[in-house]
Structure 1
Amino acid sequence: MSALAPPAGAPAAVRDRPAPRLRRPKPARSPWLHVAMVPVTLLWLSPIVFVLFVAIRSYDDIAGRGLGAFPASFSLDGFATALTQGGVLRSLGNSVLVTVCAVVASLALSSFAAYALSRFDIPFRRTILLTMLAGNLLPPQILLVPVSSITEAIGIGDTLTALVVVQVGFGIGFYTFVLHGFMRSLPNEVFEAARLDGAGPGGIFWRIVLPLSRPSLAALAALATTWIFNDLIWAMTVLRTEAKFPITAALLNLQGGFASAWNVVAAGALIAAVPTAIVFFLFQKQFVSGLLVGANK
């Protein structure tokens, strides 16, 4: 769109001033997208609403009127039973402990490895990166027996430490691959300016690389929290004692111990879903920005 030029007889200061450009009006947003997303949203929320209705019903209401009936009573006995008799509260603490330790250790080690592989001339660094990523392509079913035998052999079998080590070992390859791509895209001018100011490799990492990598780290933290907190296969592989089970294994036992008490099972499932939902909503903005990093490069 052409700019508006000042008249020929205008003062020099006015003629030298850049001419303003007319702003193109923003197109009106169509409401049809929101209209189309309403049934999709309702369909996505329907299982959660159904589980919520089951959790707040009493056992007598479910037994007398059926599982699919509309709630005719309101009771929190299912939540109380799941937290006390079902061991959900203890297992929830185990899951939080394992998740926090595994996420922090995984991202710390991955950031170190990604920084070294992206900024230093390491021999066969591409081979190292691809080897770390290839480990995530192996089906976990073929590794259950070897992983269980290794944890028993090194003396950490049936401990939460073993579960943390396994989660870190199987996640560090993917996290390093993602962080390597982001750190490699950082401009070299920033690193050259830091070296001229006397910063060493450690100072550059702590003061420049980590702050700039915050969106990617937040996105990976949200993903890692969801994966580790919801994991069941590795928990059943390395753990034997019921008191050390995470929330996923506890829900499996809860379903077996309270097979007919559907309100207890539904309450335990809702309790288990709360931590990951909180993490997602807290890191939602960073998660979206981290997924879009490098999209415009």
Structure 2
Amino acid sequence: MTSTVERPASRTRTGRRQPPKSGPRRPPRALGRHMLLGSIALLWLVPLLWAVYTSLRSYEDTASNGYFSLPRSFGLDNFTDAWTQSGMPHFFWNSILITVPAVLCTLLFSAAVAFFVSRFDFRFNLALLMLFTAGNLLPAQVLITPLYRLYLLIPLPWWMSDSMLLYDSAWGIIAIHVAYQCGFCTFVLSNYMQTIPKEITEAAQVDGAPVWRQFFQIILPLCRPAFAALATLESIWIYNDFFWPRVLIDTGDKRPITSALANLQGAYFTNPNLIAAGALMTAIPTLLVYFALQRQFISGLTIGSSKG
């Protein structure tokens, strides 16, 4: 039977006992680092807090007293006015019709290419991966003129209706997002699939599983953290996109919610408080997506950060 030996308390020169010292204190360097990071986080939140503060004030209050003044009253009138005046329910639905198919198609196509690149060895393996990744190096502004002309001049088969045109339709926006985002998703998924042991697919081949079954029933379930991280990022990027709908959609009723915020801006008068309220309501779906996939999103981003 072992016995624990307690460390006796130290004595001072006068003979008095001192209590044992507590655990190590946090060094001043770590404390300063935490204060710096907290200040940076608060600095990033200043625009959001200012938008909330502005949206809760009336335009008459800010026009008479200025934006850098104490408010006389708070209210939700700007939110109700922005919801009704801009027709947000209709444009929210347009954003969903663009974002959901674009994210699903991007992840499916990227996963197929990443599976082919990471699990099969062939001559142009690295070149194919670099080709998909190189598409993200081009800025979107460079592609305005060729894509605009392509969307206008592309012929339609006799069995397709005018609603399936790429220009001035949701199909064109979905196609450009899928083509533009596949490179980044392929790069991330290929690196993630390389961490999966090849013995798993080799065992499936021994059992007689075809390639499509290895892809859908073995590899895709194992890539769930990476899919959650990419789905969060792609949903935010595609939903918040303002550039492509503004260029490729001519009809105002077909535009997503980000482009529809321009309806709150008048020809001779603009209410900044109303626009701030509309912008905050527009950001709610992206926050819901992030909080729903927060745990998988963090695990997908930190995968491979530690060894052993």
Cα-to-partner distance string for 1:6-41 (whole Å, 9 max, x where unaligned): xxxxxxxxxxxxxxxxxxxx9777783554444333
Aligned sequence identity (%)? 42
* Paired position in structure 2 for 1:249: 259
1:208 alignment partner, one of 181, 206, 218: 218
Q: Alpha-carbon deviation of 1:184?
A: 2.0
* Paired position in structure 2 for 1:199: 209
Map 1:227-242; keep pairs closer than 5 Å.
227-242=237-252
Please tell me whether residue 158 in structure 1 is matched to residue 168 in structure 2.
yes
CA contact (8 A) 1:258 1:265 kept: no
Rounded Cα–Cα distance in structure 2 between residues aligned with 1:83 and 1:242? 17
Letter matched to residue 178 of structure 1 = V
Rounded Cα–Cα distance in structure 1 between residues aligned with 2:42 and 2:135? 39
Letter matched to residue 222 of structure 1 = T
Q: Alpha-carbon deviation of 1:219?
A: 0.7
Of 116-125 and 169-178, deviating more is 116-125
CA contact (8 A) 1:232 1:248 kept: yes
Rounded Cα–Cα distance in structure 1 between residues aligned with 2:269 and 2:245? 22
Letter matched to residue 269 of structure 1 = A
Cα-to-partner distance string for 1:237-295 (whole Å, 9 max, x where unaligned): 21111111112212234235584312211101101111111212222221221112223
* Paired position in structure 2 for 1:93: 93
* Paired position in structure 2 for 1:61: 61
How has the CA–CA distance of structure 1 residues 258 and 102 changed in structure 2, closer, same or farther, with 3 Å as cutoff? farther
Q: Alpha-carbon deviation of 1:233?
A: 1.3
How has the CA–CA distance of structure 1 residues 103 and 73 changed in structure 2, closer, same or farther, with 3 Å as cutoff? same
Letter matched to residue 204 of structure 1 = Q
Rounded Cα–Cα distance in structure 2 between residues aligned with 1:88 and 1:62? 25
Rounded Cα–Cα distance in structure 2 between residues aligned with 1:257 and 1:296? 56
Cα-to-partner distance string for 1:167-219 (whole Å, 9 max, x where unaligned): 00101111111111111221111112222222221221122101111111111
SS across alignment from 2:75: coil
Map 1:52-201; keep pairs closer than 5 Å.
52-154=52-154, 155-201=165-211
Q: TM-score, normalised by structure 1?
A: 0.84
Q: Alpha-carbon deviation of 1:104?
A: 0.6
Rounded Cα–Cα distance in structure 2 between residues aligned with 1:28 and 1:112? 52
SS across alignment from 2:306: coil
Runs of 4+ residues deviating >6 angstroms: 26-31
Rounded Cα–Cα distance in structure 2 between residues aligned with 1:94 and 1:258? 28
Q: How many residues align?
A: 273
Give the gaps of 5 or more residues in structure 1.
5-25
CA contact (8 A) 2:133 2:184 kept: yes
Rounded Cα–Cα distance in structure 2 between residues aligned with 1:256 and 1:190? 61
How has the CA–CA distance of structure 1 residues 257 and 82 changed in structure 2, closer, same or farther, with 3 Å as cutoff? farther
CA contact (8 A) 1:258 1:264 kept: no
How has the CA–CA distance of structure 1 residues 247 and 257 changed in structure 2, closer, same or farther, with 3 Å as cutoff? farther
Give the gaps of 5 or more residues in structure 2.
3-22, 155-164
CA contact (8 A) 2:170 2:254 kept: yes
Rounded Cα–Cα distance in structure 1 between residues aligned with 2:197 and 2:68? 58
Q: TM-score, normalised by structure 2?
A: 0.81
1:283 alignment partner, one of 277, 287, 293: 293
Rounded Cα–Cα distance in structure 2 between residues aligned with 1:185 and 1:259? 57
How has the CA–CA distance of structure 1 residues 58 and 258 changed in structure 2, closer, same or farther, with 3 Å as cutoff? farther
